[in-house]
Amino acid sequence: DTEVTQTPKHLVMGMTNKKSLKCEQHMGHRAMYWYKQKAKKPPELMFVYSYEKLSINESVPSRFSPECPNSSLLNLHLHALQPEDSALYLCASSLGQGDQPQHFGDGTRLSIL
Amino acid sequence: QKEVEQNSGPLSVPEGAIASLNCTYSDRVSQSFFWYRQYSGKSPELIMSIYSNGDKEDGRFTAQLNKASQYVSLLIRDSQPSDSATYLCAVKGNNFNKFYFGSGTKLNVKP
């Protein structure tokens, strides 16, 4: 079990659907991340929130919309996704200062029909 | 040039042997280095952190850092089939809490 909890574990959605991915941590971490990972590839950074403010957006298409309601929660809102968006979506958190590592959640396996 | 480079493998070693995984990075000011293990279909799991030049040991794992050569490695002693996974090298950038990942090295430990 990881200390970063992601829901749902699996999600199948059509290209016209709207859905959200949720991530929660209670480690007091102040930096939270969304990554996208395709098979046999490393995690690809999408967004970073630092102290609840968006600090990095890696030129992600607007059909992905992140939200950080508080220091423990991170959401990723999905709308009008494409089949190529099918991937494992990973949430991670880190202390937000110093040299501490990231800790990953178990991920959400997303399939776009 | 990529920020972090790893040989994609696969690296095959027999059970009980030492597996040696290597990583180079381009940013000389990097200070924090991490190794993650990722089983197929699972999320990355942190196995080692290293911040200073030299060796750091944790059980069967030893991380080695050489900042002058911009090189970090992971040794796995007495390799087990359960060590078969992809190993990701990550380097923390100086700004904005950004971590740079290598492409990962796939390790196969053969019984």
Q: Is A81 on the interface with B (CB under 8 A)?
A: no
Tokens of A72: 């423990």
What pLDDT digit, counting tens, does each position of B53-95 carry?
Answer: 999 999 999 999 999 999 999 999 999 999 999 999 999 977 7
pLDDT tens-place string over residues A46-74: 999 999 999 999 999 999 999 999 999 99
| Integer Cα distance of B76 and B52 in angstroms | 19
The minimum CA-CA distance between B29 and chain A, rounded to whole Å, is 13
Check CB contact under 8 Å for B96 and A50.
yes
Instruction: Measure the CA–CA gap between A23 and A8, rounded to whole angstroms.
Output: 9
Q: Tell me the pLDDT band of B1, cut-offs 50, 70 and 90.
A: low
The percentage of residues in chain A with a pLDDT greater than 70, rounded to a whole number, is 98
| CA contacts within 13 A on the Cβ side of A1 | 3
Q: Which residues of B touch A108 (CB under 8 A)?
A: none
Check CB contact under 8 Å for B46 and A45: no
- Quick check: helix, strand or coil at residue A83? helix
Rounded to an integer, what distance in angstroms lies between the CA atom of residue B52 and that of residue B77?
21
Conformation bin of residue A4: beta by default, left when phi > 0, alpha when psi is -120 to 50: beta
Question: φ, ψ for residue A17 (rounded to 5)?
Answer: -75, 160
Cβ pair A90, A24 in contact under 8 A: no
